[in-house]
């Protein structure tokens, strides 16, 4: 195991890494080479497998808050990062801070070290950290970034919460259908065949569906899984296909408006954050463009960047595209004239955040009765498919 040891040697501060089986052995090694240890921090060993682990944003939020608080207390960054490593639970975040600390010790600046991990923190946050480093406002910057990450995480959690109910209902229906086909329907089929009953259409469909899933269910499931992976790879490799797919998603009822307003809220908030921290408009727009997840919206927003580069102001560039509503364009125009662009962008971001929240509530109000109707329809189909032949059976017996 590796340990990061800070201490004093020849009346000078020193920081080194040592390999040792335990902390006590690491301390012993440090003393043997003339170092008086003042701090020792374990450095976890990381596998390449960790690169493919999904990142928990909560870990990043807490570490950014920790950096903000300790930087405000005037602790040096090379003392803050080991404490962040110790406080992080996710291996990927721990590995990031270990690498940042190593890069700092090799001579890179803090922003350069963070830019080595754009896949985790994103280009916008790396640019803002650079501004904080150059202006001496790191505590404020990391506090702002932690708030931005927290708001983003809340929005995602709110949307996932609304999707949880319909997903549980669909899963329950699939399980119930499988149990009926495997255990219940075969018993009734043999009974109906013994009495040579004329089966109604609903029963025939139920029996045929059950036979298909009993005989070919595994092959169908495997085929769907393989097909989904194959289609996903094709979509991932083809930008035009992904762009068309993203455009189609925006046209979906209810869901499309949620995706649109969520993306525009993130775009405007990124623009506000960059302007607030002192980035120039060109770099702010590039970061706002990066914050968009929908490729169709990205292609439209690219026109704004091109218009700005040709000499137009932001409000005129936005008026040439059909992306933001009239209120947003008016607020941005007012912000440019009054010199309060950052505040107006924040108001626009809040406006789209409210639209996003309203969209999620509308989605919840519609999806719950639709799921209830789906379950009711399937239960009625199962009941009629089994009970109608039973009624005919009663007539034969009588």
**331 is a domain residue:** yes
Task: Say if residue 233 is in the same domain as residue 381.
Answer: yes
How many domains does the structure of the chain reveal? 2
- Given pLDDT bands bounded at 50, 70 and 90, which one contains residue 388? confident
Query: Does 225 reside within a domain?
Result: yes
392 domain-assigned? yes
CA distance 152 to 144: 12
CATH at residue 172: 1.20.81.30
| Residue 29 within any structural domain of the chain | yes
Q: Does residue 155 belong to any structural domain of this protein?
A: no
Residue 397 pLDDT > 60? no
Instruction: Determine what percent of the chain is predicted with pLDDT higher than 70.
Output: 93
Does residue 95 contact residue 50 with C-beta atoms inside 8 Å? yes
Question: Does any domain span residue 327?
Answer: yes
Amino acid 212: pLDDT: 80
> By three-state DSSP, how is residue 292 classified?
coil
| Lowest mean per-residue pLDDT among 10-24, 243-257, 314-328 | 10-24
Distances (CA, A) of 260 to 238, 267, 338, 350, 358: 22, 11, 29, 14, 13
> Are the C-beta atoms of 206 and 185 separated by less than 8 Å?
yes
Average of pLDDT values for 80-107?
A: 84
Given a cut of 90, whether residue 20 has pLDDT beyond it is no
Instruction: Give the pTM.
Output: 0.71
pLDDT of residue 154: 83
Does the pLDDT of residue 131 top 90, yes or no? no
Mean pLDDT for 45-72 is 73
Of the given ranges (137-146, 202-211, 330-339, 346-355), which has the lowest mean pLDDT? 202-211
Residue 352: what pLDDT? 92
Tell whether 157 is covered by a domain. Answer: no
Q: Residue 43: pLDDT above 70?
A: no
Question: What does the pLDDT average to over 160-177?
Answer: 81
Phi/psi of residue 373, nearest 5 degrees: -65, -40
Residues 235 and 382 in one domain: yes
Domain that holds residue 39: 1-43
Of 276 and 261, the structure prediction assigns the larger pLDDT to 261
Give Dmax (Cα) for the chain: 107
264 within some domain: yes
Residue with tokens 């992306």: 323
**Count of CA atoms in the C-beta half-sphere (13 A) of 307:** 15
24 and 171 co-located in one domain: no
């Amino acid at each position: 195991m590796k340990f990061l040891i800070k201490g004093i040697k020849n009346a000078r501060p020193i920081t080194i890494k040592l390999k040792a089986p335990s902390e006590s052995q690491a301390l012993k090694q440090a003393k043997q080479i003339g170092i008086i240890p003042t701090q020792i921090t374990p450095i976890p060993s990381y596998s390449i497998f960790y690169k493919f682990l999904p990142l928990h944003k909560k870990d990043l939020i807490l570490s950014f808050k920790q950096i903000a608080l300790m930087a405000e207390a005037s602790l040096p960054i090379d003392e803050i990062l080991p404490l962040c490593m110790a406080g992080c639970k996710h291996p990927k975040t721990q590995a990031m801070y270990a690498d940042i600390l190593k890069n700092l010790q090799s001579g890179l600046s803090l922003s350069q070290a963070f830019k080595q991990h754009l896949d985790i923190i994103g280009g916008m946050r790396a640019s803002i950290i650079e501004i904080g480093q150059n202006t001496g406002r790191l505590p404020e910057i990391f506090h702002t970034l932690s708030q931005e990450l927290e708001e983003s995480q809340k929005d995602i959690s709110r949307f996932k919460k609304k999707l949880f109910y319909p997903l549980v209902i669909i899963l329950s229906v699939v399980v119930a259908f499988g149990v009926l086909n495997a255990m219940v329907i075969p018993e009734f089929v043999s009974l109906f065949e013994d009495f040579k009953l004329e089966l109604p259409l609903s029963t025939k469909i139920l029996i045929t569906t059950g036979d298909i899933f009993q005989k070919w269910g595994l092959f169908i499931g495997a085929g769907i899984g393989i097909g989904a992976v194959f289609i996903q790879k094709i979509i991932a490799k083809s930008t035009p296909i992904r762009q068309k797919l993203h455009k189609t998603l925006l046209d979906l009822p209810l869901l499309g408006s949620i995706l649109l307003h969520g993306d525009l809220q993130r775009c405007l908030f990124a623009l506000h954050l960059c302007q607030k921290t002192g980035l120039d408009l060109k770099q702010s727009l590039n970061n706002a463009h990066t914050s968009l997840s929908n490729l169709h919206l990205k292609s439209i927003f690219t026109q704004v960047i091109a218009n700005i580069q040709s000499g137009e102001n932001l409000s005129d560039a936005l008026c040439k595209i059909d992306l933001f509503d009239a209120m947003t364009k008016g607020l941005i125009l007012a912000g440019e004239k009054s010199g309060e662009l950052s505040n107006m962008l924040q108001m626009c971001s809040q406006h789209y955040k409210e639209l996003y929240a309203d969209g999620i509530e509308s989605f919840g109000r519609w999806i719950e009765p639709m799921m209830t109707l789906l379950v009711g329809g399937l239960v009625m189909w199962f009941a009629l498919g089994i009970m109608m032949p039973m009624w005919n059976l009663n007539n034969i017996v009588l």
